Structure 1
Amino acid sequence: MVSTETLSIQGYFFKAVTVRLPKTTLLTISNDVGYIMCGALDVGLLNSKLADRKIIAGRAVGVKTIEQLLKAPLESITLEAEQLGIVNGMIGEEALLKMI
């Protein structure tokens, strides 16, 4: 099952997507600039094989809901996200606000 919702964070809008799969749930929150995602995101791949795409993204692990993703510290980020001032340990909501 796939569900989507629009989130407002300090007046900025983001799209949250939840994909329920057997034994796991994929979570993303994004805008036109970048996104944060649950542990399924392979940041290493984005930084190496897909580096030419300049993807702005961060990954939080151990989250099971969109609300948890917003509050969780990012475990890893892409090099492009780092250039926006996003750092490991920053909570998801703060990282999203750097993507505006």
Structure 2
Amino acid sequence: MITVNPLEVEGMFFTAITVELPKTNLLMISNDIGYIMCAALDVDIFNEIPKLMERKVIAGRAVGVRTIEELLNAPLEKITDASKSYGWEVGMTGRDALVNIS
């Protein structure tokens, strides 16, 4: 099942997406600037492949989360290089990262 809902974070609106997969969930929260997600996907690819680096994707990843609420409160374990221009740092919460792109 795929669930898409609006999500308000400190007065700013995002889109929360949950994809239920066998034995795990794919979780993402995004706006028109960037997104955070669970570790079911990889952000390293945007820092390693020159063609993809040119896109300057703003993305961060948290590990061990199972719900959108957990994703908001978890520390980001990896971020793209481009996200640093928005003040993102490894270890900041997903919520704080989203506030920086709102």
Gaps of 5+ in 2: none
Which of 65, 71, 77 pairs up with 1:63?
65
2:5 corresponding residue in structure 1: 5
1:41 Cα deviation from its structure 2 partner: 2.4
d(CA) in 2 for partners of 1:25 and 1:17?
10
Deviation string 1:7-48 (CA, Å, 9 cap, x unpaired) is: 111110000000001111100000000000000221210112
1:90 corresponding residue in structure 2: 92
d(CA) in 2 for partners of 1:44 and 1:7?
26
Gaps of 5+ in 1: none
* Farther off after superposition, 67-76 or 36-45: 36-45
- When the two structures are superposed, what TM-score results if normalisation uses the length of structure 2? 0.95
Q: Where has structure 1 moved over 4 Å in runs of 4 or more? A: none
Taking only the aligned residue pairs, the percentage that are identical comes to: 56
2:41 corresponding residue in structure 1: 41
- When the two structures are superposed, what TM-score results if normalisation uses the length of structure 1? 0.96
| Secondary structure of the structure 2 residue equivalent to 1:95 | helix
